[in-house]
Amino acid sequence: MMAGKIETQTEIPKNENLIGLEKNDYRGRETSLCQGCGHNSISSQIIAACYEMSIQPEKVIKMSGIGCSSKSPAYFLSRSFGFNALHGRMPATATGAIMVNNTLKAIGVSGDGDTASIGLGHFKHLVRRNVPMTYIIENNGVYGLTKGQFSATADKGQELKKVGVNPFMPVDICMEALIANAGFVARSFAGDPKQVKELLKAALSFDGTAVLDIISPCVTFNNRDESTKSYAWGRKYEEPLHDVTWVPEREEIKVDYEPGNVIDVEMHDGSQIVLKKLEKDYNPTDRIAALKMLEETCCGGVLVTGLIYFNKEQPPLDAIENLVETPLSRLTEKELRPSAQSLQELMQRFH
């Protein structure tokens, strides 16, 4: 056995997961995005992660805004409920839906225009409230559906054929999430499907807002080699902070590693994220260090990926609101309408 290799006892049945579903049960409609679009690769990993985690698809809600990324929920998990709402406003619809049914797993899919421009305020307030959901940003630095304008995550000085040179500094979505006190902040690259899948699994096991900023190249408008949002650039300059593996609760972790080489993070649902050290030490529980790392690498010619920050101590919004166990959306008249006598008593107060 190689040092650092993680083995588990899992034996996935050939075509079925633990709840008896096949991978096909997790697929969506045929994509209408461009061939080679990073978003399609992410959709595949969402399908794989949900299948492998044996998530009941009917218990998932897929929330999105407007844009190429926001169309993608139609292309995975057809047996899940989807809501393709308004540009930048997915955080609001997701908050409402989750608060009235917190037994559902929510996957939000957004883009850099949706999250970093028109919806930046909503995004930060969703994070601030710690709404329990996986919030994916498929980040390509460009507006695709409107044919190639810069987004707010485009690099300063970048040139695009249609619109010229971008004079503004980019919005760093991970940094915004950290400043808004997110408890789970990760960055990945659509060209690194294994890492995307492991981080997705970790995010889906987190019980607050899990922010997953995935660099997802736009093959049509922003994939020239010198663009930091291109496949070529990502492949060349990706620097993972660690090797990420998500291990479900039911599996015993068998790890063979040198002491100090692995950080093992336990989630609320009993699953674990195992982070194997690569070249440098990185502690994902130090918020200031995370911000510092992002600041130092933002224009430094590297694409740092991995679990940037983790803190499971903050209560999610549904816990703060002290909700009854039955989802609010499933309460009946008996629980919802106070008695006639209570109204009579109340009326006495206004005499």
CB-wise, 9 or 15, nearer to other proteins? 15
Indicate which single residue of 1, 9, 29, 280 sits in contact with other proteins (rule: CB under 8 A): 29
- CA 122 to chain centroid, in Å, comes to 16
CB-wise, 1 or 347, nearer to other proteins? 347
Residues 6+ apart with CB under 8 A from 254: 6, 7, 8, 9
Q: Name the minimum Å distance from CB 46 to other proteins.
A: 15
Joined together, the tokens standing for residue 262 give: 């692995």
Nearest residue to 46 (alpha-carbon basis) of 65, 30, 60, 32? 60
**Which range of residues in 71-79, 187-195, 216-224, 227-235 is near other proteins by CB under 8 A?**
71-79
Site string for other proteins, 121-150 (x = CB under 8 A): xx--x---x---------------------
CB-wise, 67 or 240, nearer to other proteins? 67
Indicate which single residue of 96, 157, 164, 270 sits in contact with other proteins (rule: CB under 8 A): 96
Contact 200, 190 (CB under 8 A): no
Q: Is 322 in the site for other proteins (CB under 8 A)?
A: yes
Distance CA 257, CA 277 (A): 10
SS3 301: coil
- Give the DSSP letter of residue 24: G
Count of residues in the chain: 351
Distance CA 248, CA 148 (A): 41
Distance CA 232, CA 226 (A): 8
CB-wise, 97 or 136, nearer to other proteins? 97
Q: Name the minimum Å distance from CB 84 to other proteins.
A: 4
Q: Which amino acid is at 136?
A: I
CB-wise, 268 or 330, nearer to other proteins? 330
Q: Name the minimum Å distance from CB 147 to other proteins.
A: 18
Q: Which residues here bind other proteins, judged by CB under 8 A?
A: 29, 56-59, 61, 63, 73-74, 78-86, 89, 91-101, 103-104, 121-122, 125, 129, 321-325, 327-331, 333, 335-338, 340, 342-344, 346-347, 349-351
